[in-house]
Structure 1
């Protein structure tokens, strides 16, 4: 039987691209930050890129993965 940690957004990203777009709640859980931080990142254009479906904000898991990869590369080059 799967536990919540086996099926949540973090586990899904570890296994590969999920079969659904991510919500701000998912992003907050993945990065272990408050949901308000996710909205501030979007406002300041410093977090993973999101897009609107009607009034709903969504994130493409591939874009989130690319964002993390880019951050890791930038940190390694700065060190």
Structure 2
């Protein structure tokens, strides 16, 4: 099993503020997460997949993927 990160740790990994990650979670735009009772955790492999899905070769390609 991979490493599970708290919101603050996942935000640091993604280089965003924890509040941004929380907004993404509420809007469904962020990486996949695990909910264990009240605790939210992010699997490191899901964070990497989230980043990899946002790698583009040009701004035109990025706009088409948005």
Question: Is this a same-fold pair by TM over 0.5?
Answer: yes
Aligned structure 1 segments of 4 or more residues deviating by more than 3 angstroms: none
Structure 1 residue 41: Cα displacement:
0.5
Matched, 1:66 2:45: no
Gaps of 5+ in 2: none
Looking at secondary structure, tell me which structure has more strand per residue: 2
More relative contact order in 1 or in 2 (CA 8 Å, sep 6+)? 2
Give the structure with the larger helix fraction: 1
TM-score between the two structures when normalised by the length of structure 1: 0.65
RMSD over aligned CA atoms reads: 1.9
Q: How many residue pairs were aligned?
A: 60
Using structure 2 for the length normalisation, give the TM-score: 0.76
Q: Hey, what's the Cα distance between the residues in 2 that align with 1:52 and 1:40?
A: 16
Q: 1:1-79 counterparts in 2 under 5 A? A: 19-72=2-55, 75-76=56-57, 78=61
Structure 1: runs of 5+ lacking an equivalent: 1-17
